[in-house]
């Protein structure tokens, strides 16, 4: 089908039916339902249709299949509502841990010149990364070159600190995780400097939306009606994902967060639709 869709920044890209299917699967749809929704969307699109309208159609058709979808915000919107600290940082740490990394939370790294506060240390397959979590309220904003240059500077300083015997932790690479896309310059610089840059849709097949995968990995900020206070208390206790909320006992969450039992049970009742 030779049809293009218009993105929020005004650029166009070809319509990709598989993106519709993947979006539905992340919302908890079966493969059959996801394909049925994709069929309905495909019959209604036109050349130049805004991506926002495509998303509205997906949500409308999904609610027809699963009414509880009405309790959900779009994933990108939900991510944009997160608090940078601690919510998004804990989310990134949880996501990396569930993607096979051994993760340590916020750390201080000793450089040759100064101490550097980073949002985590992640290890996998013998490679140790320091992690920077960069959150944007406007999910159409680009994560630019400056973030990549700062990450490179930190890596150089902590590398020199390790070489000088000022630290016993060897950092091999830098990792930046953001809820938006990267600018072309940032991607070019990151590739040149071997920085792992995880954004909404990059690296190809391993972007944030791919890592999140199924509904269990959705952040709690996607759940309508959940107060900011409740989200912050849960995040401070290390609970930021639907799956984490579903797997914790209500009484235990009450002890950890100080939230009333009826509030915790109410949240878990909504989450149960997606378990």
Give residue limits of the domains in the chain.
Answer: 4-67, 88-211, 214-274
What is the CATH class of 214-274? Answer: mainly alpha
pLDDT of residue 258: 95
197: Cβ contacts below 8 Å, ≥ 6 apart: 143, 148, 175, 176, 178, 182, 186, 187, 190, 203
Q: What is the mean pLDDT of residues 32-44?
A: 91
CB 214 within 8 A of CB 235: no
* DSSP character at residue 200: S
pLDDT of residue 39: 93
Comparing 112-126, 130-144, 206-220, 244-258, the range with the smallest average pLDDT is: 206-220
Specify the higher pLDDT residue, 210 or 243. Answer: 243
The answer, yes or no, to whether residue 55 has pLDDT greater than 70, is yes
CA dihedral angle for residue 137, residue 143, residue 144, residue 149, rounded to 10 degrees: 110
Q: What is the mean pLDDT of residues 63-75?
A: 76
The answer, yes or no, to whether residue 7 has pLDDT greater than 80, is no
The answer, yes or no, to whether residue 75 has pLDDT greater than 90, is no
Tens digit of each residue's pLDDT (9 = 90 or more) over 87-109: 999 999 999 998 899 999 999 99
Backbone angles phi, psi at 99, to 5 degrees: -105, 10
167: Cβ contacts below 8 Å, ≥ 6 apart: 109, 110, 158, 161
The answer, yes or no, to whether residue 275 has pLDDT greater than 60, is no
CB 162 within 8 A of CB 171: yes
Same fold, 88-211 and 214-274: no
Q: Hey, how many other C-beta atoms are within 10 angstroms of the C-beta on 240?
A: 26
Q: What is the mean pLDDT of residues 197-202?
A: 94
How large a percentage of the chain has pLDDT more than 70?
96
CA dihedral angle for residue 230, residue 231, residue 235, residue 240, rounded to 10 degrees: 130
Q: Omega before 203 cis (within 30°)?
A: yes
pLDDT band at 209 (very low <50, low <70, confident <90, very high): confident
- pTM for the whole structure: 0.81
pLDDT band at 240 (very low <50, low <70, confident <90, very high): very high
pLDDT band at 9 (very low <50, low <70, confident <90, very high): low
CATH 3.30.70.920 fits 88-211, yes or no: no
């Amino acid at each position: 089908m030779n049809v293009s869709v218009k993105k929020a920044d005004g650029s166009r890209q070809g319509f990709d039916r598989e993106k519709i299917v993947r979006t539905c699967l992340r919302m908890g749809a079966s493969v059959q339902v996801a394909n049925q929704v994709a069929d309905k969307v495909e019959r209604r699109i036109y050349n130049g249709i805004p991506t926002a309208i495509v998303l509205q159609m997906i949500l409308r058709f999904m609610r027809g299949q699963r009414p509880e979808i009405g309790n959900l915000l779009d994933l990108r919107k939900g991510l944009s509502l997160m608090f940078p600290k601690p919510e998004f940082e804990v989310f990134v740490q949880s996501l990396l841990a569930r993607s096979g990394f051994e993760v340590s939370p916020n750390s201080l790294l000793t450089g040759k010149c100064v101490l550097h506060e980073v949002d985590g240390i992640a290890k996998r397959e013998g490679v140790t990364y320091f992690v920077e979590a960069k959150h944007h309220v406007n999910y159409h904003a680009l994560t630019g070159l400056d973030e990549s240059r700062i990450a490179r500077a930190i890596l150089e300083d902590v590398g020199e600190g390790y070489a000088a015997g000022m630290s016993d932790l060897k950092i091999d690479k830098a990792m930046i995780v953001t809820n938006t896309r990267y600018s072309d310059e940032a991607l070019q610089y990151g590739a040149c400097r071997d920085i792992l840059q995880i954004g909404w849709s990059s690296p190809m097949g391993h972007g944030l939306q791919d890592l999140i995968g199924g509904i269990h990995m959705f952040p709690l900020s996607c759940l309508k009606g959940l107060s900011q206070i409740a989200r912050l208390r849960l995040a401070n206790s290390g609970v930021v994902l639907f799956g984490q909320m579903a797997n914790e006992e209500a009484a235990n969450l009450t002890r950890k967060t100080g939230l009333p039992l009826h509030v915790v049970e109410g949240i878990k009742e909504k989450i149960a639709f997606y378990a």
